[in-house]
Amino acid sequence: MDPRPLAAHLLFESRDLDEARDRVARVFCDHRLDVLHGQFAARQHHLPGARLSLNYIEYGAKTVISPGELGGFYLVQIPLSGAAAISHGAERYVSDPRRAAVLNPHQPTTMIWEEGTRQVLLRIDRAAMQAHLATQLSAMPDHPLTFHGALDLTQGAGAALRRLVLWLVAEADAGAAPLQGLMGRQLEATILSGLLDSHRHDHAAHLGRRRAAPRPRHLRLAENFIEAHLDQPLTLDQIAQAAGTSARGLQLAFRQHRDMTPLGFWRDQRLLRAHADLMAAGPGCTVTGVALRWGFQHFGRFAESYKARFGLNPRDTLRAALGAGYQD
């Protein structure tokens, strides 16, 4: 039996540099991959989820990896052995089993993996990360979330995040499907929250103020339930039942702490997710597709609600994301 993490989810193994570059790029992005010295033997294991994927990668040899800007995703690299020299934006640091690399999608990256480096990697969808941050802030951030430096894995929230990721890996290795279903969505949300809690980033002060007044337990349960079912039709009674309270009690809690109704919060979160998708749009993205993804069936009403929330039409957001080549 293969002792490597996620062994049952082998994506490829190869000694051919070009093949390895192509296969890794299908999950991540186009990149430069060159061998500096040693015997090249690449392998990737891949377990997809809804908002993130778990990956295991080794190259055997000492390699230089230069993807430039990642574009559509954040990347957390947790070394199990070896080390990697990271050049990311203006920052330079070394990642090893004590320190994870956290890479932003909007900053250029070059890495040198030492010979024998083995890593578990979290690929986190950029739009999902921004939308999760917006949920924590109850407002859409006015600039992209940017993490800074290496993440300490030896203590506190960083160590807890490492344990959670490796527990998910162990569950997958035991034959479970930890990223599937409602539990999978909740675990993904916990990982996104754990990353926001454990690492330095430019929205930390805002999150600190936002969390100063603790939410009642039934409000937290309701918000977690809503976030896990954003793409599905919900009723007030369903949300109240999931939160373990009455419909009236839930309405009062949302009025007091959110200044809106539970269903208003549900609609607002769907708009935030749609906005994040449009801002991170790539070729082939359409306003109609994004609206349907988040449960908006009436496109005229969606456009009106979107403009009232963000001050511009969804097509304008998509046009700005795609640049000059965009056409309706």
The CATH number covering residue 173 comes to 2.60.120.10
153 and 11 fall within a common domain: yes
Residue 209 forms part of a structural domain:
no
CATH number for the domain spanning 281: value is 1.10.10.60
Q: How confident is the model at residue 206 (pLDDT cuts 50, 70, 90)?
A: confident
What pLDDT is stored for residue 317 in this prediction?
81
110-124, 132-146, 234-248, range with the lowest pLDDT: 132-146
Class of residue 317 by CB neighbours under 10 A (exposed 0-12, middle 13-18, buried 19+): buried
151 and 47 in a single domain? The answer is yes
φ/ψ bin of 323: left (φ > 0), alpha (ψ from -120 to 50), beta (otherwise): left
From the centroid of its chain, how far is CA 59?
Answer: 25
Assess whether 42 and 148 both reside in one domain.
yes
**Domain endpoint, select from 140, 169, 204:** 204
Q: Is position 216 within any domain? A: no
In the three-class reduction of DSSP (H, G, I as helix; E, B as strand; rest coil), residue 231 is classed as coil
Q: Give the integer Cα–Cα distance in Å for 222 and 269.
A: 13
* Cα distance between residue 109 and residue 79, in whole Å: 17
Whether residue 79 sits in one domain with residue 49: yes
Whether residue 126 lies inside any domain: the answer is: yes
CB of 38 closer than 8 Å to CB of 115: yes
Burial label, 311 (beta-carbon count in 10 A; 0-12, 13-18, 19+): exposed
- Average pLDDT value for residue range 215-243: 89
Q: What is the DSSP string of 233-276?
A: ---HHHHHHHHTS-HHHHHHHHHHHHSS-HHHHHHHHHHHHHHH
What are the angstrom distances between the C-alpha of 8 and each of 1, 94, 165?
10, 30, 17
Residue 89 lies in a domain: yes
Is 306 among the domain residues?
yes
Is 126 in the same domain as 257? no
Based on the fold, state whether residues 184 and 120 are members of the same structural domain: yes
**Domain shared by 36 and 77, yes or no:** yes
- Give the domain extent around 304: 225-323
The token duo for 245 is 């309270």
Q: pLDDT, tens digit, for every residue of 84-132? A: 999 999 999 999 999 999 999 999 999 999 999 999 999 999 988 988 8
Answer yes or no: is 210 within a domain.
Answer: no
Q: Give the phi and the psi of residue 124 in degrees, each rounded to 5.
A: -110, 120
Same-domain status, 232 and 173? no
Q: Are 70 and 26 part of one and the same domain?
A: yes
Helical segments of the chain, H only: 17-27, 126-137, 156-173, 181-198, 204-210, 217-228, 236-243, 247-258, 262-279, 287-293, 299-310, 314-322
Query: Are 156 and 100 in a shared domain?
Result: yes
Tell me the per-residue pLDDT of 277-321, one tens digit each, with 9 for 90 and over: 887 777 888 999 999 989 898 888 999 988 887 777 888 888 877
Measured between alpha carbons, how far is 265 from 182 in angstroms, rounded to an integer? 20
Tally of domains within the chain:
2
Cα separation, 140 vs 74, whole angstroms: 18
Specify if 220 maps to a domain: no
Higher pLDDT, 222 or 276: 222
288 and 167, same domain (yes or no): no
Q: Are residues 188 and 310 in the same domain?
A: no
Residue that finishes a domain, picked among 204, 239, 264: 204
Question: What pLDDT was estimated at residue 1?
Answer: 53
Q: Which residues of 264-284 are buried (b: 16+ CB within 10 A; e: fewer)?
A: ebbbbbbbbbbbbbbbbbeee
